[in-house]
């Protein structure tokens, strides 16, 4: 049996974790001295409650080598372990996983893979791996699926405030200050495993329309799997499913919250759209 290991930034719903027997190794979210395991003892609702009560900017950390060692050790009877994780350009999670792998006598059957993405872009990969295992596909066929998904995905997102990106070292103080004064809403993307700027827009409604326009330009009319990720703004985005189905040739759709790890870096009011071309 092939088993799957991923991390909490995949933001997978619990029913899918159970369905495909996935092992999720959590990243850590810290509010000063209080440290939580993402998705285990803190969820997005609790995350925002803590933000409002404390005004503390949370920090994050990758899983330890021991966390991965224990996860792999529990799966030593598996025929193979596919361990797929958040982009190495965004986190040191891959490093911890690779070190743990090298410490085990059955390391040759552990495959540590850099997804080059995060959040439900990673989650979709994990789901497709689970489906492939269920269908009896072999390792080479599964690796082909992963390679194809790496080449055929688009992720666009926006943040409501640049403060979190500034605190996380992603932008400078002057950019954060000017962005707040001018009410600039950046459109960002995941490109080759890293966060890159796309455009700057002045209002929430314009940024929503523009994100969908850019995605349509990139995707065209090919069949796609789509996910919309939200922060504390699910109600504001309640009509987006209808717009997505109108604009795109949607074959599968999810509406999911960001993980607490990623929320720590993008903050409230953020949201994004993930598309996988079915080719």
Give me the CATH number covering residue 114. Answer: 3.40.50.10170
Question: Would 227 be classed as within a structural domain?
Answer: yes
Domain boundary among 109, 136, 151: 151
Question: Would 130 be classed as within a structural domain?
Answer: yes
Domain span at residue 221 reads 153-277
Domain boundary among 151, 176, 201: 151
Pair (124, 191) in one structural domain:
no
- The per-residue pLDDT for 143 is 98
pLDDT in tens, 151-188: 999 999 999 876 766 565 544 443 443 445 456 788 99
Pair (134, 216) in one structural domain:
no
Written as tens digits, the pLDDT of the chain (279 aa) is: 999 999 999 999 999 999 999 999 999 999 999 999 999 999 999 999 998 888 788 999 999 999 999 999 999 999 999 999 999 999 999 999 999 999 999 999 999 999 999 999 999 999 999 999 999 999 999 999 999 999 999 999 999 876 766 565 544 443 443 445 456 788 999 999 998 889 888 877 899 999 999 999 999 999 999 999 999 999 999 999 999 999 999 999 999 999 999 999 999 999 999 999 998
Query: How much is the pTM?
Result: 0.93
Q: What is the 3-state secondary structure (H, E, C) of the chain?
A: CEEEEEEHHHCCCHHHHHHCCCEEECCEEEECCEEEEECCCECHHHHHHHHHHHCCCCEEECCCHHHHHHHHHCCCCCCEEEEEECCCCCCCHHHHHHHHHHCCCCHHHEEEEECCCCHHHHHHHHHHHHHHHHCCCCHHHHHHHHHHHHHCEEEEEECCCCHHHHHCCCCCHHHHHHHHHCCCEEEEEEECCEEEEEEEECCHHHHHHHHHHHHHHHHCCCEEEEEEEECCCCCCCCCHHHHHHHHCEEEEEEEEECCHHHHHHHCCCCEEEEEEECC
Domain boundary among 125, 151, 177: 151
Pair (118, 167) in one structural domain:
no
């Amino acid at each position: 049996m092939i088993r799957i290991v991923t991390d909490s930034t995949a933001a997978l719903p619990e029913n899918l974790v159970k369905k495909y027997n996935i092992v999720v190794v959590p990243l850590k979210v810290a509010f000063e001295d209080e440290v939580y395991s993402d998705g285990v003892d803190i969820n997005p609702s609790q995350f925002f409650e803590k933000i409002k009560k404390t005004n503390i900017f949370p920090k994050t950390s990758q899983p330890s080598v021991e966390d991965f060692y224990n996860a792999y050790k529990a799966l030593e009877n598996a025929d193979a372990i596919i361990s797929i994780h958040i982009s190495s350009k965004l986190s040191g999670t891959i490093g911890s996983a690779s070190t743990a792998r090298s410490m085990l006598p059955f390391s040759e059957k552990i495959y540590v893979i850099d997804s080059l993405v995060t959040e439900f872009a990673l989650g979709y990969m994990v789901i497709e791996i689970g489906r492939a295992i269920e269908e009896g596909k072999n390792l080479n066929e599964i690796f082909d699926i992963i390679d194809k998904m790496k080449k055929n995905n688009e992720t666009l997102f926006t943040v409501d405030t640049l403060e979190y990106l500034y605190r996380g070292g992603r932008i400078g103080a002057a950019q954060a200050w000017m962005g707040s004064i001018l009410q600039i809403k950046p459109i960002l993307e995941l490109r080759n495993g890293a966060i890159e700027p796309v455009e700057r827009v002045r209002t929430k409604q314009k940024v929503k329309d523009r994100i969908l326009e850019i995605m349509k330009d990139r995707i065209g009319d090919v069949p796609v799997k789509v996910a919309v990720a939200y922060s504390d703004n699910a109600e504001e985005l309640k009509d987006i499913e209808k717009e997505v189905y109108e604009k795109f040739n949607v074959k599968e759709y999810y509406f999911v919250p960001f993980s607490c790890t990623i929320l720590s870096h993008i903050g409230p009011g953020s949201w994004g759209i993930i598309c996988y071309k079915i080719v």
